[in-house]
Structure 1
Amino acid sequence: MAGRPGLAGTMMAKSSKKHKENSEFKLLEELFNIADKNGDGRVTVEDLFEAAISSGLEADRKHIEGWFLNKDRDRDGELTWDEVLGIKTTNEIAFDTFDLNKDGRISKKEFLHICRNMTDEQVDAVLQKFGKKKEGQMNYDEFCQMMNKRRKSSLDKLSSAEHEICPAKPKIGESSQSKYEVP
């Protein structure tokens, strides 16, 4: 029996480990919230590095970059809190939906099965554009590139439309009579 911790010692060790993990989790959550300056729920590796430095933490850029790349599962260069928590991203869910045979690639047949409104030629064009190996299939990274480009394009259009509908207010000192008035 000598050398083996008793039940109380084992429970204290587990409790101590859980407490440490919980405090590290809280620190990570605080750091994420500091890094999310605009409140959109997305942070970059640079945001995290700056938040760590401004919080007085010793920050190793390479360590943060490695951790970030491991967590950025939708490959868009930004982290959401869901990604930090390990919750499946929209890209992962969509890829799983397309990848019917679960081989880690989306074939033309699988693409057409899900996107029934697309023609063979349209699917060929998508696979040609985003399938880096030009083999008529798309892997997860290539799929993410396509989805992220689509998302960015949608956000750009939304932002442009928002500015047309709600143009910026004149800055202080500018004339109140401007192109922003409703005719």
Structure 2
Amino acid sequence: MSWFLMNRKGEERKKKEEIKKQFMKAIGKDASDGKLSRDQWTNVLIAAGIHNSTEEVHKSFETRVLENGRLSFEEFMGEESRAERLFKLMDKDGDGFVTKTEFREVCKNLNREQIDLAFKKFDQTGNDKLNFREFCDMMNKRTNSTKKGSETATANPSNSSSHHAPAQ
């Protein structure tokens, strides 16, 4: 590899590291869900010294289907998100769905009843499979339930995180 190409890769790596650094600062202040809005991303890129920040942010937001109009670091950088990696891991046959059987193979600590409850709650199409959106809804619900802590579970046992299969 030429010196020129090696030097460019080093520059790109440094830019990415600076963006990540500014992203971490921003989520520490404003984003408990690990995602930032369009305006927050613009501020991250400006703080990282990236030119044409507003245009870059608009391009990133236009090319993605957004949940709540926010993007994680991976989503913004065009990398596979943690949710996408986990979904692919569970989707053994690569058909774009996670079945109860596939889910059970990965989540061995959950019993059949817990998996059935999770699918009943998050399988919006009723096909006994989770598509990526349903899977993300389930994972986000688990994350939100976990963050709310035990006060939710003790305040309303019928709504506790123990009913969300992934939280077990």
Indicate the TM-score class for this superposition, using the shorter chain for normalisation. 0.5 to 0.7
In the other structure, the counterpart of 1:176 is none
In the alignment, is the contact (CA less than 8 A) between 1:130 and 1:138 conserved in 2? yes
User: 2:33 & 2:2 partners in 1: Cα distance?
Assistant: 37
In the other structure, the counterpart of 1:52 is 45
User: 1:145 & 1:42 partners in 2: Cα distance?
Assistant: 15
1:137/1:81 CA distance change after superposition, 3 Å: closer
Secondary structure of the corresponding residue to residue 130 of structure 2: strand
2:135 is the counterpart of 1:139: no
In the other structure, the counterpart of 1:181 is none
In the other structure, the counterpart of 1:13 is 4
In the other structure, the counterpart of 1:63 is 59
Please give the root-mean-square deviation of Cα atoms over the aligned residues, in Å: 4.1
In the alignment, is the contact (CA less than 8 A) between 2:98 and 2:131 conserved in 1? yes
Higher relative contact order, structure no. (Cα contacts within 8 Å, ≥ 6 residues apart): 2
Q: TM-score, normalised by structure 2?
A: 0.58
Give aligned-pair identity as a percent: 20
Q: Please state which structure has a larger fraction of its residues in helix.
A: 2
User: 2:132 & 2:143 partners in 1: Cα distance?
Assistant: 16
State how many pairs are aligned.
144
In the other structure, the counterpart of 1:157 is 149
User: 1:41 & 1:145 partners in 2: Cα distance?
Assistant: 13
Report Cα offsets for 1:146-167 as digits up to 9, x if no partner. Answer: 0111110110125x58xxxxxx
Q: Which blocks of at least 5 consecutive residues in structure 2 are unaligned?
A: 153-168
User: 2:20 & 2:104 partners in 1: Cα distance?
Assistant: 41
User: 1:149 & 1:22 partners in 2: Cα distance?
Assistant: 34
